[in-house]
Chains A and B, each alone.
Chain A
Amino acid sequence: GAVVSQHPSWVICKSGTSVKIECRSLDFQATTMFWYRQFPKQSLMLMATSNEGSKATYEQGVEKDKFLINHASLTLSTLTVTSAHPEDSSFYICSAPAGTGSDTQYFGPGTRLTVL
């Protein structure tokens, strides 16, 4: 099946720093990618939709200035957590539909962010 990768798989940073997480579609192009956040023992929550060549759309309650999303190419979307704080510590997961018009969504392996 289609493969989605994320980098890094885990990151530890100090409070106040910014962290960039990459999401790549390895064997297909994705004009749309999705970013989710998952706190311990909770379900995935959609944060935003990343659109290639245009601005991301954010879900209600997600601060767009804090979670910067850039979809620079058809295979790469990045999520930057700016001025990270301990409450931003979470598991961040991206996903992409496997091809234009595909109704199957494939997920990356996730990135564990720990903010000290």
Chain B
Amino acid sequence: DAKTTQPPSMDCAEGRAANLPCNHSTISGNEYVYWYRQIHSQGPQYIIHGLKNNETNEMASLIITEDRKSSTLILPHATLRDTAVYYCIVRVATNAGKSTFGDGTTLTVKP
């Protein structure tokens, strides 16, 4: 699986959009970008994933650059409950869940 690079930490004001970047310059053509988050002392929670098109669901939006070497997870209106470690993972979809976790980004949403 391709390696990802994320900033170790970010702050965001409550109610504002949180934009979390991820670099995956060695991504292969059949690898998807997945985002998970982990709130303290809980299991990771799936957020969103995509291949090359931008994706949006009720939780977030995923913007993938045209060359697919980087992506951005957008939480449109961050709340205090969005404070968590966010992991960007790149893997083939057929790998059925075998994910390699990097260090992630600790997002702190402040009042």
Which residues of A pack against B, CB within 8 Å?
Answer: 1, 4, 6, 32, 34, 36, 43-46, 49, 91, 93, 95-97, 101-110, 112
Contacts and interface: CB of A to CB of B under 8 A. Distances in A.
B46 A105 contact: yes
Given A43-B101, A46-B100, A101-B96, A106 B41 contact: no
Interface of B: 32, 34, 36, 38, 41-46, 49, 87, 93-94, 96-104
Contacts of A45: 101
B17 to A, nearest CB: 24
B43 A110 contact: yes
Contacts of A110: 41-43
Nearest to B103: A43
B97 A34 contact: yes
